Amino acid sequence: MKLQDLYFYDFVGNRAAVISSTNRCDLGLSGLIVDETKNTIHLRDEKGLRVIPKQGRIFRVAFPGSTVDIYGDAIRFRPEERLKQYRRILKNLRRMVK
């Protein structure tokens, strides 16, 4: 499996943490992903539900057997539209990694 293919998985039900953010208050937040919209990820932690914007964040998502860092800017689509935007996402990933 290629690393970039993980961007097209459904993240709901996996554990995630914010490891980089433009907002210092979001750093270190972690929990279970319970919902995802075009611009936000909803995490449930011990304090309740937190809605975190995708823009400007890097999420560390735990998949079965591996942990991967996901750029929020690259997945700013509705989850069901990610497959339609495959080429655009790959182009953005290449730009972010360089």
| The two structure tokens encoding residue 43 | 């995490």
Reported as a single tens digit per residue, the pLDDT across 33-69 is 999 999 999 999 999 999 999 999 999 999 888 898 9
Q: Please give the radius of gyration of the chain, using alpha carbons only, rounded to the nearest integer.
A: 13
Asked whether residue 1 carries a pLDDT value surpassing 60, the answer given is: no
Q: First and final CA of the chain: distance in angstroms?
A: 22
Full set of structural domains in the chain with CATH: 3-97 (2.30.30.210)
- Of 41 and 88, which is predicted with more confidence? 41
Q: DSSP strand E in 1-98: where?
A: 15-21, 30-36, 40-45, 48-53, 57-63, 66-71
Which residues on adjacent β-strands are paired with residue 2?
A: none
φ, ψ (nearest 5 deg) of residue 82: -60, -40
Give me the amino acid identity at 5: D
Q: Where are the alpha helices (DSSP H) in the chain?
A: 86-97
| The two structure tokens encoding residue 92 | 């953005």
CA–CA separation, 6 and 61 (whole Å): 10
Give me the amino acid identity at 55: Q
